[in-house]
């Protein structure tokens, strides 16, 4: 009789296109799905509050799926290696399968786990279930990692297409006796003070919801994505980022399903919208490529000259930004959307990030930390890439002298003010002509709309024109010879 295998779930919370699960099925014997919460982990960038909320509900959805296949999810808490060894002893398992993670701390931990298991003659195998291409597979002609997206993505597209996703199993072989398990509630992932009402009304977690979201997007939006993605008032994006982060859908599934829909609906003709969408999956690949090859960039700028940048300590400005009280409506709307839903439209993410690092001259790391705690899709690779891109200190970064004007960005991408009115009810009655810059409205217009600057809504905390000049002056300092 073949002894049981452990399938160690982490950020691959699905049963279809699940290479660790497939490996265990091919190995034969009973399968014991496990999830271990490491409460001894002291590394940087542990899951933020919004991500923990998502994880709680996602684990529940995964367990429901496993139960429907005659299985269940075993929950443990504690040091990863100790818990794995305990489970191996309890179940007599002879193999452990898992899907790779690429964060620096995860790589070190997984290497330690794999070496220890193999030293005890336990089969220990990891697989790629998070990415289209492994970070070490894509290299320049000189054998170095890419630091510019366009040649990186061109190199990816010149490779063989990603493997077809595998369907979920119809049944899983179970052990005669199940090991003991904690409940998901025992992990303490949910907030002790209820701030998550907006998350509950915005999201349905789990693999089934991920597929439904992909179907919605491919049916309604993908062919207009190149334009729709910049309009924050509309549902013009895929909304798949948290599902991708927690592995409730695989990038291979998105890749092949998108190409299938293009072939069916366009007869294989090119679609700018679909190409732009697939390219966004490419940016996610690029983020992981950079994180793998340049692990220190989670805290340090890739471009070393930016270590001399004269960032300001501005506690009041940071709090105003976090709370959506800067006096710039598009910035405040975005930050309030983030707090209420755990998500923010990508165009608005760029605007609020630019405002923090350029208008306020607050270090990008402070913004990355806030996003990490409040985003349901907080992903270390993408978060790092995005913030370093905005700050001008990373790979393929926007030049620092490109400073978004929050007012003109608002007027361009939310011309009717629908997005602003949704998240800033105190400005809802303002005429659109003044909605994007309330401080320019005459007193009579403000009074009629019930807006009292400095009371019901703040004055701008900076003058954008002066802040832009200050940012450019700061940039000139790091260009001076040492």
The secondary structure of 89-129, three-state, reads HHHCCCEEEEECCCCHHHHHHHHHHHHHHHHCCCEEEEECC
Residue 481 has what pLDDT? 56
Q: Check residue 357 and report its DSSP letter.
A: I
Last residue of a domain, one of 231, 262, 293: 293
Residue 134 has what pLDDT? 97
| pLDDT over 80 (residue 479) | no
Number of domains in the chain: 3
What is the mean predicted confidence (pLDDT) over 401-415? 94
- Together in a domain, 331 and 460: yes
CATH of the domain at 365: 1.10.579.10
Annotated active-site residue 219? The verdict is no
Annotated active-site residue 178? The verdict is no
- Together in a domain, 76 and 101: yes
187, part of any domain: no
Residue 43 has what pLDDT? 73
Residue 46 has what pLDDT? 87
- Together in a domain, 393 and 453: yes
What is the mean predicted confidence (pLDDT) over 58-75? 98
| pLDDT over 80 (residue 276) | yes
- Together in a domain, 347 and 424: yes
Report the percentage of the chain scoring pLDDT > 70.
Answer: 98
Q: How close are the terminal C-alpha atoms of the chain, in Å?
A: 69
- Together in a domain, 331 and 470: yes
| pLDDT over 70 (residue 34) | yes
100, part of any domain: yes
Pairing of strands 5-9, 74-77: unpaired
The pLDDT-based confidence of 193 (bands split at 50, 70, 90) is confident
CA distances from 457 to 428, 442, 449, 467 (A): 11, 15, 12, 21
Residue 353 has what pLDDT? 97
- Together in a domain, 354 and 365: yes
207, part of any domain: yes
Q: Which of 387, 389, 405, 423 is catalytic?
A: 387
- Together in a domain, 17 and 145: no
CATH of the domain at 225: 1.25.40.80
- Together in a domain, 116 and 136: no
Please give the order of strands across the beta sheet that includes 123-127: 74-77, 31-37, 5-9, 95-99, 123-127
> Crossing angle, helix 80-91 and helix 104-119, to 10 degrees?
30
Annotated active-site residue 283? The verdict is yes
The pLDDT-based confidence of 365 (bands split at 50, 70, 90) is very high
Q: Which of 364, 370, 389, 423 is catalytic?
A: 364
The pLDDT-based confidence of 482 (bands split at 50, 70, 90) is low
Q: Which of 45, 178, 283, 439 is catalytic?
A: 283
Residue among 321, 337, 326 at smallest CA distance from 232: 337
Average pLDDT, the chain: 95
Annotated active-site residue 364? The verdict is yes
The pLDDT-based confidence of 354 (bands split at 50, 70, 90) is very high
| pLDDT over 80 (residue 396) | no
| pLDDT over 70 (residue 337) | yes
Q: Which of 45, 116, 346, 369 is catalytic?
A: 346
Q: Kindly report, residue by residue over 138-191, the tens digit of the pLDDT.
A: 999 999 999 999 999 999 999 999 999 999 999 999 999 999 999 999 999 999
179, part of any domain: no
Residue 103 has what pLDDT? 95
Q: Which of 125, 257, 275, 311 is catalytic?
A: 311
- Together in a domain, 100 and 249: no
Annotated active-site residue 280? The verdict is yes
- Together in a domain, 258 and 158: yes
Domain of residue 320 covers 304-479
The pLDDT-based confidence of 291 (bands split at 50, 70, 90) is very high
Q: Which of 280, 369, 411, 426 is catalytic?
A: 280
What is the mean predicted confidence (pLDDT) over 302-313? 93
- Together in a domain, 309 and 456: yes
Residue 400 has what pLDDT? 66
């Amino acid at each position: 009789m073949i002894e049981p295998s452990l399938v160690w779930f982490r950020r691959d919370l699905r049963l279809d296109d699940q290479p660790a699960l497939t490996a265990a099925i091919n190995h034969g014997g009973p399968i014991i799905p496990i999830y271990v919460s490491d409460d001894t982990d002291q590394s940087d960038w542990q899951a933020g509050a919004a991500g923990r909320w998502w994880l709680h509900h996602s684990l529940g959805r995964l367990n429901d799926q496993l139960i429907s296949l005659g299985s269940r999810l075993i929950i443990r808490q504690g040091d990863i290696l100790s818990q794995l060894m305990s489970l191996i002893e309890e179940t007599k398992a002879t193999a452990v399968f898992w899907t790779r993670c690429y964060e620096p701390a995860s790589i070190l931990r997984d290497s330690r786990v794999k070496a220890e298991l193999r030293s005890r003659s336990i089969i220990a195998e990891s697989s790629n279930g998070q990415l289209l291409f492994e970070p070490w597979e894509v290299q320049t002609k000189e054998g170095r990692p890419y630091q510019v997206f366009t040649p990186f993505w061109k190199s990816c597209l010149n490779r063989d297409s990603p493997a077809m996703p595998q369907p979920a199993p119809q049944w899983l072989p179970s052990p005669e006796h199940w090991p003991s398990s904690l409940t998901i509630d025992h992990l303490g992932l949910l907030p002790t003070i209820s701030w998550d009402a907006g998350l509950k009304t915005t999201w349905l977690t789990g693999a089934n919801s991920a597929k439904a979201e992909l179907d919605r997007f491919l049916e309604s939006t993908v062919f207009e994505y190149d334009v729709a993605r910049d309009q924050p008032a509309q549902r013009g994006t895929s909304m798949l980022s948290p599902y991708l982060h927690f592995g409730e859908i695989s990038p291979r599934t998105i890749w092949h399903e998108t190409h299938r829909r293009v072939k069916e609906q366009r007869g294989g003709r090119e679609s700018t919208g679909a190409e732009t969408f697939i390219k966004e999956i490419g940016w996610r690949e690029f983020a992981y490529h950079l994180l793998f090859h340049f692990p220190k960039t989670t805290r340090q700028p890739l471009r070393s000259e930016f270590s001399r940048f004269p960032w300001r300590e501005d506690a009041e400005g940071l709090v105003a930004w976090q709370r959506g009280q800067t006096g710039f409506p598009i910035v405040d709307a975005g930050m309030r959307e983030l707090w209420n839903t755990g998500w923010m439209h990508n165009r608005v993410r760029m605007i609020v990030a630019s405002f923090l690092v350029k208008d306020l001259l607050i270090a990008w790391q402070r913004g990355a930390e806030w996003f990490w705690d409040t985003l349901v899709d907080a992903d270390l690779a993408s978060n790092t890439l995005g913030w370093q891109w905005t700050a001008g200190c990373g790979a393929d970064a926007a030049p620092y002298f490109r400073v978004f004007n929050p007012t003109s960005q608002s007027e361009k991408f939310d011309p009717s003010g629908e997005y602003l009115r949704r998240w800033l009810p105190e400005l809802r009655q303002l005429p659109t002509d003044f909605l994007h810059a309330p401080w320019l409205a005459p007193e009579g217009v403000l009074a009629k709309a019930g807006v009292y600057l400095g009371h019901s809504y703040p004055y701008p905390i900076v003058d954008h024109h002066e802040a832009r000049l200050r940012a450019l002056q700061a940039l000139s300092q790091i260009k001076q010879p040492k």
